[in-house]
Amino acid sequence: MITFENVTKTYHNGKQIVHALNGIDLTIERGEIFGVVGFSGAGKSSLLRCVNLLERPTTGRVLVEGQDITQFSKAELRQHRRRVGMVFQHFNLLNSKTVFANVAEPLVIAKVPNAEIRKRVMELLEFVGLADKANHYPDQLSGGQKQRVGIARALATRPSILLCDEATSALDPQTTSAILSLLKTINREYRITILLVTHEMSVIREICDKVAVMERGKVIESGSVFDVFSNP
Ligand code: ADP
Ligand code: ADP
């Protein structure tokens, strides 16, 4: 479903050159919950952002359903981004907008008719357990509730891939478990492939099928969670 072929990403910070990704080869199969784990600065976020081209690989190819997304035209990229939802560590909600409007945002941008927006947003809020909070503002919600809004927004365009960037790292352990269980439900019930990055091994153990361990821009180990973590 997603294939990285010899992907590199180099940032230029003034005079400093950072090799954030250093020859990544990785395949994520349809329907998997695939975790990428590693310390801060390993390149996890850069890797994730290459799937929706929030970051563009410096060299290499990223194939999604067999298509090299780095070659997409503007219109194709717009289309592509609708099939890839993203969830962030700090939720990235618009504080001046209601919960409803936050979830509606990607649909408004996609010019979905208003009646359809209303229907879909209320279904999504129902699904994440926040239908009664539609008219609230993000400031009035707990961290876990904010992330549920973030997840509902990510699902609004009915994506086939969900990217999660440290989605539970700002949450307490109990809330983390609830959000991870929601992600699992999304994966199993909606058949959405999930690619998540985290610095927390416990997150990988709790929901991932496969894992890649990253260090300094490289994948140093990958496979099923069982195989990778049962190695002596
Ligand atoms: P991780 O998600 O594992 O913490 P990142 O992909 O965020 O790793 O970062 C990898 C390296 O790239 C780090 O050294 C980081 O400072 C650098 N980096 C990330 N994003 C940028 C950017 N937009 N500009 C410059 N350097 C960046
Ligand atoms: P704008 O782009 O004008 O700021 P919003 O982002 O606030 O609009 O809202 C996007 C869409 O969602 C609009 O069609 C708006 O009418 C609708 N909407 C916003 N909040 C609610 C709500 N609580 N219940 C029903 N519809 C809403």
Give pLDDT tens digits for 142-160: 999 999 999 999 999 999 9
Asked whether 194 and 187 are in contact (CB, 8 A), the reply is: yes
What ipTM does this complex have? Answer: 0.73
Asked whether 62 and 7 are in contact (CB, 8 A), the reply is: yes
Q: What is the pLDDT of residues 188-216, one digit of tens each?
A: 999 999 999 999 999 999 999 999 999 99
> First-to-last CA distance in the chain?
31
The reported pLDDT for the residue numbered 13 is 87
The reported pLDDT for the residue numbered 230 is 79
The reported pLDDT for the residue numbered 107 is 97
The reply to whether ligand 2 has any atom less than 6 angstroms from the CB of 114 is yes
The reported pLDDT for the residue numbered 100 is 98
Q: Ligand 1, from 7, 11, 53: best to mutate by most atoms within 8 Å of Cβ? A: 11
108 C-alpha to center of ligand 2: Å?
9
104 C-alpha to center of ligand 2: Å?
7
pTM: 0.90
| Sequence-ordered strand ranges (E) for 88-201 | 161-165, 193-198
Q: Could you tell me which residues come within 8 angstroms of residue 102 by beta carbon, excluding any fewer than 6 positions away? A: 93, 94, 138, 149, 153
Asked whether 187 and 31 are in contact (CB, 8 A), the reply is: yes
Burial 139-162 (b: 16+ CB within 10 A, else e): eebebbbbbbbbbbbbbbbebbbb
Q: Ligand 2, from 118, 126, 135: best to mutate by most atoms within 8 Å of Cβ? A: 118
Low-confidence residues of the chain: pLDDT under 70: 231-232
The reported pLDDT for the residue numbered 86 is 98
The reported pLDDT for the residue numbered 232 is 60
Asked whether 204 and 212 are in contact (CB, 8 A), the reply is: no
